[in-house]
A = this chain, B = another copy of it.
């Protein structure tokens, strides 16, 4: 147990310093390693396996809804980036520029894509001609690069992995429906796979994507009660289509501009998982995306029959479709317990000589520490039920946390006081004025998360400026 303690003690207490706890977990659970350039990280195998599981879920949903994957170029000519006015203003300050190819200086500098609207639009303008070509429902899994000043593992990389969907439609109605549908795909992923409850809503004008008519988001609450924007979906209208000349000939032979959407989610979701579910023993992974769902730790491995039976249990769980690992190494059980706790493996299965004799094993839940002795005859069903229990338990705990830290406020002072003392989200009525929102941010640091679809009329006047209220907004501190 000495080694176990030692490892646990190396993590900062999350209630003392949440940021340091996060950094510790990211490092000790072997999720991230720093690379030579600031803001660039190695996504290590364990984290990448989580990402692959998230990709599998989302990619499946995308394809079921008719989307196709493509690969667009990494580099954008400066002139192409500049085609849509709002878009270039939003992104130009934070891109990296390629100026030389081999030994020659380029005649036009190229930026590494910070997002690929301009590339997709250029492509669509070449391939869309007729109503028969529509809709185009494309998605890309790729790396993008934004030259951020402050960087943090998963939450803000200069280079990050994501997917970006870009679709082009004949009508506004169809594009708007797509925008909402994809937001719901993200909400579904978060809630039902990552066990992260979300608030669905529309972003304010100030917070919307550069070039969008409207941006929708899902917002999650982390353990420290700050907000994480976990996915966004944008309706573009025909603004990009006009800038890039994306037109089609309609059935009645008239030429029309297309309507577009884009939507994205990134490895930031892994940061969300860590900060939603983790505890002072490390990571806790939702079983549905955990690379290892069950770690089998044999006890007294030298005793006759233990390793053989452990291998049988492994084979049975594998055959049942469980992602399971048998740890046969010569490390002590205590070391292994701490290791799989740190890595957030949802279930630990212990089995020693006495268990072998009695045809039983011990199942330990990572989320609540609950230990049950089960008969080996019931292995499959008990493991499946316990995994379901962890998945449910994580969601319910996170939902309770969200509800317990969501308040209402009638004045800015009240909102500020609530966030300063209890932290969390504050629902408050707002006038809809951009200048008012900017002042709220400047004076308090609080930003609008979104205008939730579930509107409540909790007052008549703006909590900040006192003018007539137009909508209820969720406010908070964000990552």
- Distance A422 CA – B52 CA, assembled complex (angstroms): 48
> Distance in Å from the Cβ of A386 to the closest Cβ of chain B?
26
- Distance A10 CA – B93 CA, assembled complex (angstroms): 46
- Distance A94 CA – B100 CA, assembled complex (angstroms): 10
For residue A95, CB closer than 8 A to chain B, the reply is: yes
- Distance A33 CA – B94 CA, assembled complex (angstroms): 28
For residue A35, CB closer than 8 A to chain B, the reply is: yes
Which residue from chain B places its CB closest to the CB of A59 in the assembled complex? Answer: B52
For residue A471, CB closer than 8 A to chain B, the reply is: no
> Distance in Å from the Cβ of A321 to the closest Cβ of chain B?
16
Is the Cβ of B45 less than 8 Å from the Cβ of A138? yes
For residue A19, CB closer than 8 A to chain B, the reply is: no
Q: Which residues of B contact A145 (CB under 8 A)?
A: 74
Which residue, of A76, A96, A145, A161, has the highest number of chain B Cβ atoms within 10 A?
A96
Q: Which residues of B contact A147 (CB under 8 A)?
A: 101-102
Is the Cβ of A72 less than 8 Å from the Cβ of B112? no
- Distance A119 CA – B34 CA, assembled complex (angstroms): 11
For residue A254, CB closer than 8 A to chain B, the reply is: no
- Distance A119 CA – B110 CA, assembled complex (angstroms): 23
| Residue among B35, B75, B161 making CB contact with A123, cutoff 8 Å | B35
Is the Cβ of A52 less than 8 Å from the Cβ of B36? no
For residue A384, CB closer than 8 A to chain B, the reply is: no
> Distance in Å from the Cβ of A17 to the closest Cβ of chain B?
25
Q: Which of A63-71, A216-224, A413-421, A447-455 contacts B (4 or more CB under 8 A)?
A: A63-71
For residue A389, CB closer than 8 A to chain B, the reply is: no
Interface 1/0s, chain A 34-49, versus B by CB < 8 A?
0111001111110011
Contact count band on A: 35 or more
- Distance A98 CA – B72 CA, assembled complex (angstroms): 19
For residue A304, CB closer than 8 A to chain B, the reply is: no
Q: Which residues of B contact A36 (CB under 8 A)?
A: 73, 76-77, 80, 122
For residue A407, CB closer than 8 A to chain B, the reply is: no
| Residue among B37, B80, B142 making CB contact with A77, cutoff 8 Å | B37
Interface 1/0s, chain A 77-118, versus B by CB < 8 A?
100100000000000011111111111000000101000000
For residue A3, CB closer than 8 A to chain B, the reply is: no
Which residue, of A126, A127, A147, has the highest number of chain B Cβ atoms within 10 A?
A147
Q: Which residues of B contact A44 (CB under 8 A)?
A: 70
| Residue among B80, B101, B123, B143 making CB contact with A74, cutoff 8 Å | B143
Given A75-B159, A100-B97: A45 touches B70 (CB 8 Å cut-off) = yes
Sample (17) of A-B pairs whose CB atoms are under 8 Å apart: A33-B123, A33-B126, A36-B77, A36-B122, A40-B73, A41-B73, A42-B72, A49-B68, A52-B69, A71-B143, A71-B161, A73-B159, A75-B96, A95-B102, A96-B98, A97-B98, A97-B101
- Give 15 new A-B contacts, CB below 8 A, not counting A48-B68, A71-B143: A35-B122, A35-B123, A36-B122, A40-B75, A42-B123, A45-B69, A48-B70, A52-B69, A93-B102, A97-B100, A98-B98, A99-B99, A99-B100, A101-B158, A143-B143
